[in-house]
Chains A and B, each alone.
Chain A
Amino acid sequence: MEVASDQSRNAVGEGRHVETSLPTEWMGLVFTRNAQSADDEKLREALALSIDRESMNSVLLQGGGEPAGSLLPDWMTGYAFLFPVGADLARARQLRTEAHQAPSWTLGYDTGDPLARIIGERIALNARDAGLTLQPTNSATVDVQLVRLQLASLDPRLALTTLAALLGMPKPKLDDDTVENLYSAESALLQSEQIIPLMHLRIAVVTSPRVKGWRQDQNGDWPLQDVWLDREKP
């Protein structure tokens, strides 16, 4: 039975057997408009630097994800660690100070998703520490949208292309099959200052103690042929 990533810890606490997947879901912030000015870009960068992804993952997600500074997870590309994920509140405040004006942004999220709500509220709190105003709202028209997207494929190129399309961004330039080219394409997307990656989320599955062999391999596949059911203990 699939459970929310933030509930996996509770399930473990309750003595259940929880099997988690590799991070296959991308969570991030998407600005609904392109940056209008240099100040706008600074403010967007300040917002990205103000977010404490580690705390968000450990507390709110109960370790059910990985802090992300990229679109594709590290297990898929191997270079994701090159994109910074740590918060730098001092730098964020500096950038905020450098910007002449700081508009009050509205943050939209999926109101049917409790995790999105709590993550959005935390982001708002972190942004306030940097001097930014981010007001969570369920309004249809927002400045920033908190987005959760399942990676469409285990193929990084296809996943990136699909993800960019879902985020409304230009199609990445993937000229060849090299990792460098993939890195360049993803970097170009991130440098547009239109998206702020937050987390890569895992899928948690609670299984009966009798279920054996239910785990994901390194490629993200689920080899069901290895799954077997143990005899019920008296």
Chain B
Amino acid sequence: MSFRHRLLLVFGLTVFLCVGGVAWILSAVTRRAFERGNEDQTAALIAQFRREFSRRGEEITLRVENIARSGPATRMALAASRGSTDYAAYVNEAKTLADSQQLDSLEFVDDRGTILSSALWPAKYGYKDASLPAGLSSKDAVLRQEELPEGRVLELSAIRQVDVTDKPLYVIGGRRLDKEFLGSLELPAGMRTMLYRNLSKTFSPQLLINPSGIVQQPNVLAPLIERVQQQQQEATMLLHWSNNAADDESMHAIPLTGQDSGLLGILLVGNTRRPYIELRNRIRSAALLAGSIGIVLAVLFSGWAASRVTRPVEQLAEAARQVAEGNWNTRVVVHSADELGALAQSFNRMTEELLQQRARLVQTERVAAWRELARRLAHELKNPLFPLQLTVENLVRARQQRPDQFDEVFRESSSTLLAEITNLKTIISRFSEFSRMPQPQFQQIEINEIMHNVTRLLQVQLCLPERAPIECKLEFAEDLAPIAGDPELLHRAFSNLVLNAIDAMPLGGKLLLCTHQHGDRVMVEVADNGIGMTAEEHERLFTPYYTSKAHGTGLGLAIVQSVVSDHGGRISVHSEPGRGTRFIVELPRNWDKLESDKLQSASHTSSVNTLGASSQGATIVPESTPADR
């Protein structure tokens, strides 16, 4: 992934995370605010329920007191005190009085707990009221369970006693806690109440009511009710009525206990989460829209910003790549004065410094090469000049001291002088030849054919009687692909390598000439098991005019390297002192050069012919001793 793409990704992720974070924070704040409002509403409703509960209790107490003070109650108390209660006389009394005081239930119970008259259950006369002892201790209305033929009901009831004799008559009246009671509560929008009458040990859907009657899906509330039944504490639970989150409801359960702290009922206050869910969905939609727009803008902006940031970096990277490829004149345009601008300036200074150092190095090497050339020239020229001087001095001395023998001395000296002058000309022609190395003329060639020509010409060298025997082994691959190259130059280069190998084996040895295909390249190996090279010789192997031979020019391997380089190839050397040397020449196919060379040939036929003639006239530069490498 490029630096620009990384920047784009970072920018995009940053914007996305920012938008997501803001949306999350907004959502969390909204949820918290809603929950706080929900809690406040629930608390207000619970307070309202308790006020209503208390108000109704006071109202019931007042009505029961009115009944207790009424004439029928007094008459009933008097009759009960006499111990001969005529149930028939009072069987409908409780119903009549309850209706007059708008009570749901009313019972008259004598001092032994026997029901004299019951409004809700008239047939229960003569039976005992089991709840009487518990109700006696409270002056206020209390929550209690009332037993009826159809089952038990929950009611808010008060008890008063009529004390007209020493045997009191108890008046117990109350109103049911039912759907009418729930319906009387004023609820804020989105809230509702339900009542679970805890008349069974286990959860029973029939005991759950709301202002309209039966609750739909009552089992959803079962876990909350069972929790309150177990813990007898207020509890809150989020209820999922359907798969739609907007139907969720926060349900608060309040235990309703009787006088003996027994759990008689559970008030359920529900608060719909629909407004919150809708608001949350709107926030999410807005966040999604803002996020999408933000991401698009972020991509565009970050793309623009990243391009501004990365363009100088990319230019620097490209410039560095060009420098690495050898184009040291590469420069970077400085656009800014920031760190990237300083980096570009430093890069430019670096390349400039590299150029200057390379120029200095080239100058130094050139001077060194000239010095080496001068040394070699002096050495090469001194050898023939010294015999020339001696010969001329001998001629002068013979003319002065032995005139009679001068002719004979002159003939001998003349031949010597001619020989040495010839030697001088040879030396000069070698240097001249290296200075006139031609450019390769590419044509389709077979490397094996060139190598065969080299070996044929070198048979003469191998068969010299004074030379120790050398075993020559040829391993030419038959499937070598033809390449484009200059046959003359390559012939000269491989001849030099072979001659050097022969020279490296003064005591004889084995010479291996090998060719093979390596991908689209042709490999040529020339190996010997001669004297090898030292590390210093290996390092300076291809330096022009460097030689360790007594009569070498130091140009042989320099020519080889020049030819291989002109063909786009590479040459490598592996050598160990005393164990031999192996040269590996790697030549590319060069088909592209063949095409361009044909075009050049079409337009410069005459000059090519001239160069070709010149090449054919060139000679191989043999290295006389291995130390010349």
**A→B interface (CB under 8 Å):** 9-10, 55, 58-60, 62-63, 118-122, 124-125, 135-137
Report the nearest A residue to B151, measured CB to CB. A135
Given A9-B88, A59-B88, A63-B88, decide whether A121 and B126 contact each other with a Cβ distance below 8 A. no
From B92, B123, B150, contact of A122 by CB (8 A): B123
Judge if B181 is at the interface, Cβ distance under 8 Å.
Answer: no
Contact B150 A59 (CB under 8 A): no
Question: Is B149 an interface position by the 8 A CB rule?
Answer: yes
B interface majority secondary structure: loop
Q: Is A55 a contact partner of B126 (Cβ separation < 8 A)?
A: yes
B56 touches A (CB below 8 Å): no
Question: Given the complex, which residues of A lie within 8 Å of B124, measured CB to CB?
Answer: 121, 125
Kindly state whether residue B482 has any CB partner on chain A within 8 Å. no
Cβ-defined contact, B88 with A121, below 8 A: no
Question: Per-position contact with A for B476-508: 1 when CB-CB < 8 Å, else 0?
Answer: 000000000000000000000000000000000
Contact residues in A for B121 (Cβ distance below 8 Å): 121
B127 CB contacts on chain A under 8 angstroms? 125
**26 A-B pairs in the complex with CB atoms less than 8 angstroms apart:** A9-B88, A10-B92, A55-B87, A55-B126, A58-B87, A58-B88, A59-B87, A59-B88, A59-B91, A59-B125, A62-B88, A62-B91, A118-B122, A118-B123, A120-B149, A121-B121, A121-B123, A121-B124, A121-B149, A122-B123, A124-B123, A125-B123, A125-B127, A135-B149, A136-B149, A137-B150
Mark B68-96 against chain A: 1 for CB-CB distance below 8 A, else 0: 00000000000000000001100110000
Interface residue total, chain B, C-beta cutoff 8 A: 13
- A contact residues around B92 at 8 Å (CB): 10
Q: How far is the CA of A31 from the CA of B123 in the complex (A)?
A: 22
Closest to A114 in B: B122
Q: Are B123's CB and A119's CB within 8 A?
A: yes
Q: Residues of B contacting A125 with CB < 8 Å?
A: 123-124, 127
Interface residues in chain B, defined as those with a beta carbon under 8 Å from any beta carbon in chain A: 87-88, 91-92, 121-127, 149-150
**Is the CB–CB distance between A136 and B88 below 8 Å?**
no
Nearest-Cβ distance from residue B88 to partner chain A, whole angstroms: 4
Name the B residues within 8 Å of A121 (CB-CB).
121-124, 149
8 more contacts with CB within 8 A, not counting A121-B122, A137-B150, are A55-B126, A60-B122, A62-B88, A121-B123, A121-B124, A125-B123, A125-B127, A136-B149
| Chain A neighbourhood of B149, CB < 8 A | 120-121, 124, 135-136
B residues in contact with A62, CB < 8 Å: 88, 91
Shortest beta-carbon distance, B99 to chain A, in Å? 14
Residue of A nearest to B148 (CB): A121
Residue of A nearest to B126 (CB): A55
**Docked pose: A62 CA to B89 CA in angstroms:** 8
Chain B residue at minimal CB-CB distance from A124: B149
Bound CA span A121–B126, Å: 13
With the chains together, A125 CA to B122 CA distance in Å? 11
Give chain B residues whose Cβ lies under 8 Å from the Cβ of A60.
91, 122-123
Known: A118-B122, A125-B127. A136 touches B150 (CB 8 A): yes
Residues in A whose Cβ lies below 8 Å from that of B125: 59
